[in-house]
Amino acid sequence: MLQDSIVRSEANATDRGEPIIRLDHIRRDFDTRGGHITAVDDVSFDLFPGDILCLVGESGSGKTTVARMAAGMLKPTRGHVFFEGKDIYEMNKEEFGNYRRAVQIVHQDPYASLNPIHTIGDMLRAPLLKHKICKSRAEATKRAGELLEMVDCRPVENFIDKYPHQLSGGQRQRISIARAMTLNPRVIIADESVSMVDVSIRVSLLNTMLKLRNELGVTFLFITHDLAVVKYFAWEGNIGVMYVGKVIEYGRTPGIIGRGFHPYTRALAAAIPEADPDLTRSKEKLQLRSLDIPKLTELPDGCVFHPRCPYWIQGLCDTTKPPLMRMPDGRLVACHAVQQAVERGDDPRDLAVTDQLANQIMRE
Ligand code: SF4
């Protein structure tokens, strides 16, 4: 079995040329009031044109820190970020500017990311004129209208002269996406960008972003805590599941959601609500030993998930970090028990719960 700490796009197996973005063993440390923490540790992946990659994990898993490093907003403590094959921190000013324009970020909070004193038209025209994409105000207004159409803000006249406070949360997030599109980006990093809008309009926002990917070939790095959103948005893409700073499982979305191998992935998938109550009842229930996520200042030895894991192997999981290993179906998983099951020729999901937990379950 191939040990592989580089998480590569599944499509990397076929030659797709140079990735647009490559994160190569990036790590990010912070000194906080509580002590020194490593928010992201040894994360690597490639993004090719038209890819959708979702990074999923609970709060504190490091996914937003990864997104900020991929967007050039935060320098890794270790490792490299490459854009079209070039290390972004070795670029000259012009190259770095091109990279920043090509990689746009849509934030979680549409209320905070739009300037309340400017109209929507002003907000869209400003970057078009500043970066000389349009030569005149009239041309920029025409393009602003096209961008509003692109993100399904119709009729345009109902939006272009409005201020952000005159729009709903979902409409404001569409404006954020339109603004990100002004510079014709190749990559959009969407950081929890549908989590603050009502469930009822979440799907239509996701559809708008999928349209940008399908019709314009925009690549998406999608950050979310919600596996149900991933299931909808990235069914044709890849998922990287993160847990306290590390990617613990990576692969094609249907395989990860439908049949996750890592115990943490299985716990997340079990929590996805289903419309059909029968389906919900028939889903795997994974009983964790603890619901508490460890503090980044006091990470446990060995596998960081072991204090919560129902399958932990005493003497191994609590002493030795599991490396990310390639599984027979191509996915990558960091788990001793899964690796042992595969080596035995067993189903990687057929793991034995710890004696402690088995006793607890029996008592219940
Ligand atoms: Fe559980 Fe051990 Fe796997 Fe960690 S390495 S997820 S503790 S079985």
Per-residue pLDDT 10s for the chain (364 aa) are 333 445 554 444 456 778 999 999 999 999 998 899 999 999 999 999 999 999 999 888 999 999 999 999 999 999 999 999 999 999 999 999 999 999 999 987 777 778 889 999 999 999 999 999 999 999 999 999 999 999 999 999 999 999 999 998 889 999 999 999 999 999 999 988 777 777 778 888 899 999 999 999 999 999 998 888 888 888 999 999 999 999 999 999 999 988 999 999 998 888 776 666 666 666 667 778 887 888 888 899 999 999 999 999 999 999 999 999 999 999 999 999 999 999 999 998 888 777 666 665 555 5
Specify whether 190 is located in the same domain as 102: yes
- Point out the domain boundary residue: 130, 147, 162: 162
Specify whether 150 is located in the same domain as 27: no
Classify the C-alpha dihedral 333-338-341-343 as positive or negative: positive
Q: How far is the CA of 255 from the centre of ligand 1 (A)?
A: 19
Smallest Cα–Cα separation from 192: which of 73, 51, 67? Answer: 67
Specify whether 112 is located in the same domain as 26: yes
3-class state of residue 79 by DSSP? strand
pTM above 0.95, yes or no: no
Q: How far is the CA of 317 from the centre of ligand 1 (A)?
A: 6
Q: How far is the CA of 346 from the centre of ligand 1 (A)?
A: 16
Residue 173's alpha-carbon distances to 22, 62, 110, 112, 154, in angstroms, are 27, 23, 5, 11, 14
Task: Judge whether 300 lies within some domain.
Answer: no
- Pocket perturbation via mutation, ligand 1, pick of 312, 316, 354 by most ligand atoms within 8 A of CB: 312
Task: Judge whether 217 lies within some domain.
Answer: yes
Q: CATH code at 22?
A: 3.40.50.300
Q: Whose CA is nearest to atom 6 of ligand 1?
A: 335
C-alpha 156/C-alpha 204 separation (Å) is 18
Task: Judge whether 222 lies within some domain.
Answer: yes
Specify whether 267 is located in the same domain as 128: no
- Write out the residue range of the structural domain in which residue 31 sits: 13-116+168-293
Pocket of ligand 1 (CB under 6 A): 263, 303, 305-306, 309, 311-313, 317, 322, 335-337
- Pocket perturbation via mutation, ligand 1, pick of 246, 336, 354 by most ligand atoms within 8 A of CB: 336
Question: Which atom of ligand 1 lies at the shortest distance from residue 317's CA?
Answer: 2
Q: How far is the CA of 305 from the centre of ligand 1 (A)?
A: 6
C-alpha 243/C-alpha 246 separation (Å) is 5
